[in-house]
Structures are given as structure tokens and as C-alpha cells.
Structure 1
């Protein structure tokens, strides 16, 4: 036992000695560490100021649950805890968990291409498509790294025959349209809290006003999409009821006119046949009015049903023009590059340089050995 303890103590002493030795080496080379750290800080500043500013606008909204009774019951509560509450809350197929898929879908993204936006600094107006293609900036190294691919793409495009295409076809996008959809998908995101069903929509743009306007537009169009779906059946029922009401109205007016004309032509006649015809026309008019009245009531009920099925959204955090840029994190980039430069210099001093010197000495000794043997 004593021997094992002595061995452990010796190992600990060697570790302490090694750490002290490493620290001593670093202290001796402190000037080099400082120079490398300063170089890393300079590179970090160049990188931080080369990345364009990005402004993030976040909107939070709480959608209405389609079937509150199902969601408030015992099974509904358990399903909500499991993140399935909205899917189980009734017959609504577009529940909040699907909102991110709706926002990222091709038809939804391409519908944003023609949205009119305005820059905050100079008030220039563009569509979202024009702004993304012509006004969005990239770091200077992106142009250098992407130049070979751009040249290759230009050569391939010149070899291919370009077919004429009128308008935007969501079923078959061009390469440029697909790249624009991908770029917007990275900048327009939607997430859902599984417990509370709160939907968070974020829009990241290089202009703060455009970011806020586009975020507000995305929220509005998402609400319109869900409202359109939720009220689709009710609106069709309303259209059908209005059609029946209009037909009943026409028939009632015809019957009323026919009855009035008969009374004008046969005023004062006391024949039994005239009395029977008058009673028949009066009954037809009453029946037509009754039908017209019933269909009018059905129209009012259908309108109430449309209003009832229209979802209500509580905007928790509305869209506002951001004041501070969300990226780049200049201080974080500066600290990161400085730290990486320090670590790289330390690794060079402690490990790489001794390893290279050892290999160099080994090769030198191997070369000297044959020469010494020849002399002997």
C-alpha cells in the first residue's frame, strides 16, 4: 500500500512539474503569444466589420383552438402535455404545429416575391424579389470563393437552351427562383411552442424596416391562409344559401306579379272559376314568400356560421422596427479569433515546434551517423 501511494505521489509531482514547465515555456514566449493574439484580434475585427448587419423582427401570436371542449378535457390535457393537443383538438387539419410547414412551403414563399418594401435609410422601394437579388449584400470573401462556381454556372447556362417561361410556376421553378426560395426560407422562419401553441415568426433582413414590414406581412398572410381553410366549408354553405335565396326571391316576385296582374284583369268578377284561380294564385304567392323567407333565414344562419368558424389570433408580440442589429456579434467574433490565435500560438510553442525540432535533429543524426562510420 505504501508503495502504491508513493507511486501516485510521484505521478502527481510529475504532473505538477509538467504544468509548471508548460507555463514557463509559455511565459518565456509571451511576446509571441501577445503578437499572435493581436493578429487574431485584427483578423476578428476585419471579419466582424466585413459581415453585413442583419436585423431580426420577431412576432408572437397565439392561435385559437378549434375545439376548446376537446382541449379542456382530461384526455385533451394529457395530449397537450405530450405536444399533441392541437392535433387532437378536433377536425382542424391545419393545427399550429403545421404552421412552420405552411410558412416554408413554396407557394407561401413565392407569394412574398411581389410584396412592396421600402428601405429605412433612403426610402427606396423594391419588391422582395428585387431586394433579395440586387440589394442584399454578402461578405467580400463570398465573391472570391463563389467566383469559380459563378463562372462555371455561366458556362453551363450558355451551353443550355433557355426556354421561354411566362410568369411564376410553383410546380416548376427555375434555378434562380429555387435559390431565391431557399434564401427566403433561411430568413423567414416559424416555430411553435409545443406546450403553449404560441407561434413565433422571425424575419432576418439587412434593413430594419424591411424586416418589420415582411414579418407583419407573413403574419397577415398566415392568418389569411388558416382563416381561408377554417371557413372554407362555411363559406361554401353561405354561397349555396345565397343562391337558393336569390332563386326563391325571383320566384316570389314572379308569383306576386302574376297574382297582381290577375287581380287587375278580373276585378269585380263574381264567377266561381275566377274565385278559384284567384285563391290558387294567392296560395302560390304565399308559398313563394314562405320559401323566400326561409332561405333568407338560412342565409343569416350561414353568415353567423362563417363568423363563428373564423379563427381569432392574439398578437402577443407585434412587429416593430428593430433598433439594434441581431448579427454579427462583433464582440463575440473578436474574442473568438483572439482566443483561437492564442491557442494556435500555444500549440505551436508547446507541441508543434518541439516536434519539428525533434524530427529535424533525428534526421541530422541519421545523416551524421554514416559519415562517422566512413571516417572510422
Structure 2
């Protein structure tokens, strides 16, 4: 019969339980003993929490959801294919496009796109400020403790300004070479502008976070409009170039046909009653040149109609699932949560110091 090695005598188990109860009771007594200190820590936490919570400005977030439907029917059922079939041409085939919908986050974060937003007209909810977005960024508030972090940079900038003379002329935004101030504003806008794409459904979500609810909605709507226009311009750029080339070619072939037609008519009228074989040969040659010019002219005209239809076909359609609206409630962590969190950290930190760290700190200090 095997012996149970895990068996303990009841008296031993009771002693361990008593010891555990004594430890918990001891901790409780220590907490009660330092309750006044904890009350003071809670009071300090409340004051700090109120100061920090009130110093952090409110922020509002606007989210817009898009469902892009790209053009370029691979089955040849688009406007260009329809126009080509009516005009006797071959149906257009699939569309190989370098711009994918998943590039929306990269487009929104690109420097040229952000710079285009600088001149967007914005207006605050209280209508006290009506200016451009780049000017509004200077009006946004910052927490008081952020100035402590920025103090070295501000001091260095002030010292540099004493030795460097800045030109008063207004500079044009140049994405190739930005100033330090412009670069900071670009980085600041990149942080508040986000775009996310669901690769399965191609749903694009654009979020903007700023300190004024109406400005946030205006900027979000402007971002969506500029993103749509950017993609549309890219999609139809090649089609427009092809159409412009065919327009020029059409005018040239038309002029050549008119010239050949005029030469033939003039020669025919001048030699109508002459029966020489050489006259007939020249007349036949001019007629063949006119017919050939007309065939080329007719083919270019057909291609031009197809190219014009393709411009409309290549335009993507964006279904705005969730439009930009002025938010009623601020986003982010609420001030109540910040206050409670700071009070909790103050009480727990003070309790840990008094119960755990202070005694070891005294021993460590007395050792030296």
C-alpha cells in the first residue's frame, strides 16, 4: 500500500492558514496606520488630476467611410467598348492600373497631399476664427507640460533668430525643400490624419482628429474630396493624354483629307473636257490619295470617339457610406478617467512606498 506523500497533518495546515491570516491582517493594520498619509496622497492626486485634466485640450474625431468602385471593365462592357463596337472597332480589353485602392493610406500621408490641405478654409464652431488650416494649426492649444519638453528647442530657436535674418517675403510651398516650420506642420497633420483600408472589402476609412468639432468635419470632408480627385486625376491621366494626342492627330488627318479633296476637285474641274490618258491617270491618282486620306481620317475619328468615352469610363465612383458630420462629443480619454487614474496612481504609489520601499530605503541609507 503506497503512502500519500502530499498528506499533511491537520495541525500543520491550520498553522499555515493562521500564518497567512496573520500576514493579511498585518498588511491591513499597516494600511490603516498610514490612512492619513493615503488621504493626503489622494488629495494631492485630485489636485494634480484636475490640473492635468483641464490642461489637456479636448479633441474631436471625424470618421468617413468610402466604398470605391473602380472603372475599367475587364469584360469589355464599358463605355469605350460600347463606342468601339458601334464604330466598328475591336472591344477594349482589361485595364492594368498601377494605382490600387490599398494605396490610400500612403497617398494621405504623402507630403504633396498634406501640403495641398494647408490652404483649406476652415471655420470654428463658434465662428470666431475663419482662416486657413495652416493658420488654424498655430491657434491650437497645447498642454502646459508640453512647453517644458519644447523649452530647449524654443531657446535654441530664439538664439538662432538673433543671428539669422529671415526674409519677410511669403515663400511658396515647395515639397522638394520645406522649411523647419513647414516640416513640423506636415508631421503634425500626418499624426491627425489616418486612412485605413480593408483589403477584403476595399472599404476605406479616413479619420481626422483636431480640437474644434467643425474644423475637424471640414478637414475630413476636404481630405475625402482631395483623395477622390487625386485618384480620379491619376486614373484618367493616361486616357486624357491619349485623347489629346488623338485630337491633334484628328485635326492633322482632317487637314490632309481636305487638301487632297481640294486638289482632286480643282484638277477635275480644270480638266473636265480633256480626254488624254495622262489626265485620267493623274485624276485617278488624286482620287486614290483623297480616298486614302479619308480612310485614315475616318479611322482616327473613330479612335477619338473611343478615347473620349474611355475618359468617362476610367473615372472611379466613390460611394460615401459614412459622410463627415460635426461630432457632438469629444474623443479620447475623458477627464473623469484621467482624474480617477491619477488619484489611483497617487494612492497606490504612496502605499507601496510606505509599506514596501521605505523600510528597505532606510536600511540601505543606514548601511552607508
After the TM superposition, which of the residue ranges 250-259 and 315-324 deviates more from structure 2? 250-259
Give the alignment partner of residue 187 of structure 1, picking from 186, 192, 210: 192
After the TM superposition, which of the residue ranges 212-221 and 284-293 deviates more from structure 2? 284-293
Q: Secondary structure at the match of 1:272?
A: coil
1:85 is matched with: none
- Pick closer, same or farther for the CA change 1:46–1:302 going to 2, 3 Å: same
Matched, 1:42 2:28: no
Q: Could you tell me how far apart the structure 2 residues matched to 1:170 and 1:192 are?
A: 26
1:249 is matched with: 254
1:296 is matched with: 301
Unaligned runs of 5+ in 1: 71-88, 367-376
- Pick closer, same or farther for the CA change 1:138–1:3 going to 2, 3 Å: same
After the TM superposition, which of the residue ranges 207-216 and 233-242 deviates more from structure 2? 233-242
> Cα distance, 1:348 vs. partner?
3.1
Residues 110-138 of structure 1: per-residue CA shift (max 9 Å, x gap): 121122222221253212111113x1111
Q: Could you tell me how far apart the structure 1 residues matched to 2:265 and 2:255 are?
A: 15
Q: Please state which structure has a larger fraction of its residues in helix.
A: 1
After the TM superposition, which of the residue ranges 273-282 and 246-255 deviates more from structure 2? 273-282
Alignment of 1:296-315 (within 5 A): 296-315=301-320
Aligned CA RMSD, in angstroms, stands at 3.3
Residues 225-266 of structure 1: per-residue CA shift (max 9 Å, x gap): 222333333222222221211212222333444455556x64
> Cα distance, 1:186 vs. partner?
0.7
Q: Could you tell me how far apart the structure 2 residues matched to 1:343 and 1:336 are?
A: 11
> Cα distance, 1:208 vs. partner?
1.5
2:27 is matched with: 22
> Cα distance, 1:293 vs. partner?
2.3
After the TM superposition, which of the residue ranges 222-231 and 212-221 deviates more from structure 2? 222-231
Give the alignment partner of residue 353 of structure 2, picking from 344, 348, 356: 348
Matched, 1:148 2:152: yes
Residues 326-354 of structure 1: per-residue CA shift (max 9 Å, x gap): 14521210111121122123223322444
Matched, 1:224 2:229: yes
Give the alignment partner of residue 273 of structure 2, picking from 270, 274, 288: 270
- Pick closer, same or farther for the CA change 1:230–1:339 going to 2, 3 Å: same
- Is the contact between residue 70 and residue 317 of structure 2 (CA under 8 Å) also seen in structure 1? no
Number of aligned positions between the proteins: 342
> Cα distance, 1:90 vs. partner?
8.1
